[in-house]
Amino acid sequence: MMNQKKSQTNFGNQQIPMKWIREELGMSQMELATALGVSCSKLSAAETGKSEPVFTMKQIKILCGLLGKSLDEMTDYLGKGYLLHSKK
């Protein structure tokens, strides 16, 4: 069995599966990258685990808005998302 790298980044002490979030939103890489103000290549690198992006507060607020979550709800939501993602 091949060792698969999970695509995730840090949000406090949580790990964020970037591809899972994007797919949950039903967005293309270009759409999410544009919404966050990053290049498509940076988002792709985060999804494949090649880099760990650092979110600005503005980008975190954008993610909250896209997901319909408050900042307080984000850690619970992302924790659940990671658990679901890691079981696949």
Tokens of 9: 């980044």
Task: Determine contact, residues 16/10, Cβ cutoff 8 Å.
Answer: yes
Task: Determine contact, residues 14/79, Cβ cutoff 8 Å.
Answer: yes
Give the residue ranges of the chain where pLDDT is below 70: 1-16, 53, 78-88
pTM: 0.69
Express each pLDDT in 51-72 by its tens digit: 876 778 898 889 999 999 888 8
Q: Count how many Cα atoms sit within 13 Å of the Cα of residue 6 in the half-sphere of its side chain.
A: 16
C-alpha–C-alpha distance, residues 83 and 81, integer Å: 5
Tokens of 21: 């979030």
Domains observed in the chain: 16-87 (1.10.260.40)
- Going by the DSSP 8-state scheme, the letter that residue 13 receives in this structure is T
